[in-house]
């Protein structure tokens, strides 16, 4: 079926789908990156194996999905549990170096990422894998005369719901309160008798679960392949740099911005595509060293310079 010949919305028309897709892509990055934000903001762990946790979810989707709805739920459950387990394992590995600096953590987790990547390739092979989503989602829908993948449209709704739940969990629950307290003053939280090792385990498990959910649900968009972990880690780190730590809103804003830069930005200026994302990141860092949302530092005394 051909789309209607006359553009419905005039000069904006060609950019409608890229703008919408930027939202889908941004929300995927939000779910993927929020776990990394938790790790770094709450447990102060720079987890370079975060992309691998996403990849575990994505490979789970490829292995289990068979085009039915039941298996989608099963895959989501298995993927979340598997990635959460891997996150817990990582917390165990990190325990001996808990008092060391970020470089040690980065080296350790990067090593785990390389080893995990090799294990995934050994288990699933070096090829990209197909992901069979339910047939009802495998088609396209027509929006204002444009064709768009049905799965991505549904994904926008599901990911927005996840974002809302995450926000409520952080803002309204006791665990969320602890999270916010740990971001604001970890030493004080430790003084109050909360075991840092337990925080580390809890945070890495939750981060793993979020990455696993992103991996299963995002597999039709950023699919399982040997390069998946690196891609997701890189984009997640950009989101964290732009969005700051400990604020769901900041992460959401940054993820949507990255999604739109990658989609709408590329459609507007395709020749600038190779450096668009990092140019935007450099500009944001130069103008606002604390990222798009500066609120995350609000309750903490300023010790360092403004850099």
In whole angstroms, give the CA distance from residue 92 to residue 49: 14
DSSP state of 45: -
Residue 296 engages other proteins in binding (rule: CB under 8 A): yes
- Determine the interface stretch with other proteins among 70-78, 166-174, 203-211, 286-294 (rule: CB under 8 A): 286-294
Closest CA to 158 of 282, 72, 96: 72
State yes or no: residue 115 binds other proteins (CB under 8 A). no
Closer Cβ to other proteins, 70 or 126, answer by number: 126
CA 41 – CA 88 distance, rounded (Å): 17
Rule CB under 8 A: choose which of 161, 165, 175, 234 binds other proteins: 234
Q: Is residue 290 a contact point for other proteins (CB under 8 A)?
A: yes
If one asks whether residue 44 binds other proteins (CB under 8 A), the answer comes out as: yes
Cβ distance 62 to 51 under 8 Å? no
Q: Which of residues 246-285 bind other proteins (CB under 8 A)?
A: 262-267, 270-271, 273-274, 285
Q: State the nearest-atom distance from the C-beta of 96 to other proteins, in Å.
A: 14
Residue matched to tokens 């776990």: 35
Residue 206 touches other proteins, criterion: CB under 8 A: no
Least distance in angstroms from the C-beta of 246 to other proteins: 9
For residue 25, state whether it binds other proteins (rule: CB under 8 A).
yes
The answer to whether the CB of 58 falls within 8 A of the CB of 223 is: yes
Name which of residues 58 to 97 contact other proteins (CB under 8 A).
Answer: none
DSSP 203: H
- 30: contact with other proteins by CB under 8 A: no
Provide, rounded to whole angstroms, the least separation between the CB of residue 125 and other proteins. Answer: 7
Nearest to 98 by CA among 230, 219, 215, 203: 203
Q: Which token pair is 205?
A: 């498990």
């Amino acid at each position: 079926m051909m789309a209607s010949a006359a553009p419905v919305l005039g000069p904006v028309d060609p950019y409608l789908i890229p703008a919408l897709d930027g939202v889908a892509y941004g929300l995927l990055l939000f779910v993927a990156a929020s776990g990394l934000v938790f790790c770094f903001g709450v447990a102060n762990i720079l987890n370079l194996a975060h992309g691998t946790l996403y990849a575990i979810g994505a490979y789970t989707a490829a292995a289990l999905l068979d085009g039915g709805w039941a298996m989608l739920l099963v895959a989501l459950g298995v993927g979340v549990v598997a990635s959460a387990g891997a996150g817990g394992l990582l917390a165990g590995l990190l325990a001996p170096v808990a008092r060391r600096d970020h470089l040690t953590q980065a080296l350790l987790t990067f090593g785990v990422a390389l080893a995990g990547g090799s294990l995934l390739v050994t288990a699933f092979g070096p090829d990209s894998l197909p992901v069979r989503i339910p047939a009802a989602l495998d088609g396209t829908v027509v929006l204002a005369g444009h064709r768009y993948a049905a799965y991505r449209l549904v994904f926008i709704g599901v990911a927005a719901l996840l974002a809302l739940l995450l926000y409520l969990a952080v803002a309204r629950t006791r665990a969320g309160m602890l999270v916010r307290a740990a971001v604001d003053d970890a030493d004080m939280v430790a003084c109050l008798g909360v075991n840092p090792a337990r925080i580390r385990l809890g945070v890495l498990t939750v981060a793993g679960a979020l990455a696993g959910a992103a991996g299963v649900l995002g597999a039709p968009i950023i699919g399982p392949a040997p390069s998946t972990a690196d891609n997701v880690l890189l984009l997640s780190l950009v989101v964290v740099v732009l969005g700051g730590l400990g604020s769901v809103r900041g992460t959401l804003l940054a993820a949507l911005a990255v999604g739109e830069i990658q989609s709408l930005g590329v459609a507007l200026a395709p020749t600038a595509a190779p450096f668009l994302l990092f140019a935007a990141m450099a500009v944001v860092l130069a103008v606002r060293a604390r990222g798009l949302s500066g609120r995350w530092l609000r309750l903490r005394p300023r010790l360092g310079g403004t850099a």
